[in-house]
């Protein structure tokens, strides 16, 4: 069993003639006690640190095991994801190729349809142009005929006698003057009404 500082302190030695000086021995023992106590404190501190280190080591070992298991699970998940992604990518590629082929076929079919329709429109346009050209040429030929000159020329015997402009203008002026006289007479009549609304007898004459 290891000695304690108290054991050293309580230790008693027998006294003999010509032995060691008790004061020197006691001082030396006191120093030994102090050093021993310091060693014991250091030992306890080291044991405490060692225990803490062992606990941390155990924790790290446990954490390492958990990490290893997590890594394995993650690796398996990554492998499954990679496999699924590869399968999905292959499916997408196949579907895209299939859709591309169908789109290409549809595009070719539409292009052929447009080509046929365009050619048909060209033929119809050529026919319409030919017909229009023929119609215009026939109308031009009709206009160029000499019969139009005969129709448009007026002979002296075909002249129609009509009233002159002066005569017509004179008749219109006379008519306007007659209407103005009638309006003046009516205004004069309205001005001659008495307070009771009676109109004196006035001889009215109009020249027409």
pLDDT in tens, 120-131: 888 889 888 888
| Helix, coil or strand: residue 81 | helix
Q: What is the model's pLDDT at position 203?
A: 45
Please spell the DSSP secondary structure of 135-146, one letter per residue.
HHHHHHHHHHST
Number of domains in the chain: 1
Q: Is residue 203 part of a domain?
A: no
Does some domain include residue 153? Answer: no
Average pLDDT over the chain, rounded to whole? 76
Mean pLDDT of 8-35: 76
Q: What is the mean pLDDT of residues 51-73?
A: 87
**pLDDT for the residue 164:** 61
Which range marks the domain in which residue 86 is found?
A: 21-144
Could you tell me if residue 182 is inside a domain? no
Is residue 196 included in any domain, yes or no? no
Give domain status of residue 7, yes or no. Answer: no
pLDDT at 116 over 70: yes
pTM: 0.31
pLDDT attached to residue 163: 54
Q: Could you tell me the two tokens for 10?
A: 């309580």
Helices first, then strands: H and E counts in the chain? 4, 0
Tell me whether residue 160 is in a domain.
no
Chain segment 137-196, per-residue pLDDT in tens: 888 877 776 666 666 665 545 444 455 666 666 777 777 777 777 676 766 666 665 544
Residue 46 has pLDDT above 90, yes or no: yes
Average pLDDT over residues 83-93: 87
At residue 50 the predicted structure's pLDDT band, cuts being 50, 70 and 90, is very high
Residue 129 lies in a domain: yes
Quick check: 189 and 202 in contact, CB under 8 A? yes
Which residues, at least 6 apart from 194, have a Cβ–Cβ distance to it below 8 Å? 200
Structure-derived torsion over alpha carbons of residues 78, 82, 84, 89, reported in degrees to the nearest 10: 150
159 within a domain of the structure (yes/no): no
37 neighbors 9 (Cβ within 8 angstroms):
no
pLDDT range class, residue 49, cuts 50, 70, 90:
very high
């Amino acid at each position: 069993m290891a000695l304690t500082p108290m054991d050293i302190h309580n230790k008693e030695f027998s006294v003999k003639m010509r032995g060691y000086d008790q004061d020197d021995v006691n001082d030396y023992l006191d120093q030994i006690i102090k050093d021993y106590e310091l060693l014991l404190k250091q030992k306890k501190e080291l044991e405490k640190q060692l225990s803490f280190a062992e606990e941390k080591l155990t924790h790290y070992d446990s954490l390492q095991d958990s990490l290893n298991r997590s890594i394995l699970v993650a690796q398996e998940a990554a492998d499954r994801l990679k496999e699924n992604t590869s399968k999905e990518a292959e499916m997408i590629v196949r579907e895209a190729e299939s859709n591309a082929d169908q789109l290409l076929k549809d595009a070719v079919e539409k292009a052929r349809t447009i080509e046929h329709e365009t050619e048909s429109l060209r033929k119809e346009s050529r026919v319409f142009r030919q017909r229009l050209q023929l119609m215009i040429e026939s109308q031009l030929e009709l206009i160029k005929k000499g019969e139009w000159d005969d129709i448009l020329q007026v002979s002296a015997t075909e002249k129609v006698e009509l009233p002159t402009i002066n005569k017509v203008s004179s008749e219109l002026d006379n008519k306007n003057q007659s209407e103005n006289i009638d309006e003046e007479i009516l205004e004069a009549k309205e001005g001659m009404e008495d307070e009771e609304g009676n109109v004196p007898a006035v001889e009215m004459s109009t020249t027409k």
